[in-house]
Amino acid sequence: MKTPNAGFCALVSLMAWLMPAQAQNATPVLGIVLIHGKQGMPGQFVRMSEGLEGLSYLTERPEMCWSRQRIYDRPYLDCIGEIDGAIARLRSRGATDVVIVGMSLGGNGVLGYGARHDGLKGIVAFAPAHAPEFISRRPDISESLAKAHAAVAEGKGDTPMVFSDVNTGPGTSNIDFTVNVTPKTYLSFFAPDSPGVMPLNAAKLKAPLLLISGTQDQTQRRAHAIFNAAPANPLNRFVSVEANHMGTPAAGREAMVAWLKELTVR
């Protein structure tokens, strides 16, 4: 057998020593989790996902527990915890940094997740909505909350029941409907002390925030209060777009892309 010469062995050793440094200097890969709104589905973000993938970002579009098929099949904190899986999938595909993006209740969800997790590159909230501290004042919701509290007191907190809900429809209209969920889960989303209170969650963010709000969206009357609650960060941005609730992601897409570029050059 021919023995390798000393020069060859030295070259192999040098390459082995250099490889970790080269890996550390590899170009960062940004992964983006796109979170749909209440009664929405992952398909809500197909076009945005395709556009972002075309810009060399990686994307994941999980179905959340507030989709029209699942509608509150898990409590709030368990539900936003499912974002962990989407992030893990992005990491497995090579993402070195992760941004979470949410629309409406999804915008609420990314604030809740960001308040409880480190290591995010950024958070984007399109028309963040579902403010339990205010929605709980609606007579129908208030009645349902009283029903849920009574059920929990009777030891029936895990027994599904019918409760009131409301969603933002086309234009500026609201859509009232009912959900069949457990009282404990209902309280986790609708009680005024729900873990989904947005200003409280914004105040605990550890990553920069981009909040995009439509000027024709009635759910955005307190958007500035949410944004102003976030810790100071030179990359925090509040963007107003001419759009209603459902039109905000399309109207704010370019602002988001510009902000993502800011994130990746820092």
What pTM was estimated for this model as a whole?
0.89
Per-residue pLDDT at 13: 43
Cβ-based neighbour number of residue 142 at 10 Å: 15
Rounded-to-integer distance, Cα 117 and Cα 119, Å:
7
Per-residue pLDDT at 172: 63
Element holding 97 (H helix, E strand): strand 97-103
Per-residue pLDDT at 171: 64
Per-residue pLDDT at 168: 87
Per-residue pLDDT at 122: 98
Rounded-to-integer distance, Cα 49 and Cα 32, Å:
9
Per-residue pLDDT at 23: 41
Per-residue pLDDT at 20: 45
Spell out the per-residue pLDDT of the chain, length 266, in tens: 445 455 544 444 444 444 444 344 468 899 999 999 999 999 999 999 999 999 999 999 999 999 999 999 999 999 999 999 999 999 999 999 999 999 999 999 999 999 999 999 999 999 999 999 999 999 999 999 999 999 999 999 999 999 999 998 776 678 999 999 999 999 999 999 999 999 999 999 999 999 999 999 999 999 999 999 999 999 999 999 999 999 999 999 999 999 999 998 86
Rounded-to-integer distance, Cα 72 and Cα 160, Å:
11
Per-residue pLDDT at 27: 83
Domains of the chain: 28-131+195-264 (3.40.50.1820)
* CA distances in angstroms from 124 to 9, 112, 251, listed in the order given: 51, 12, 14
Per-residue pLDDT at 255: 98
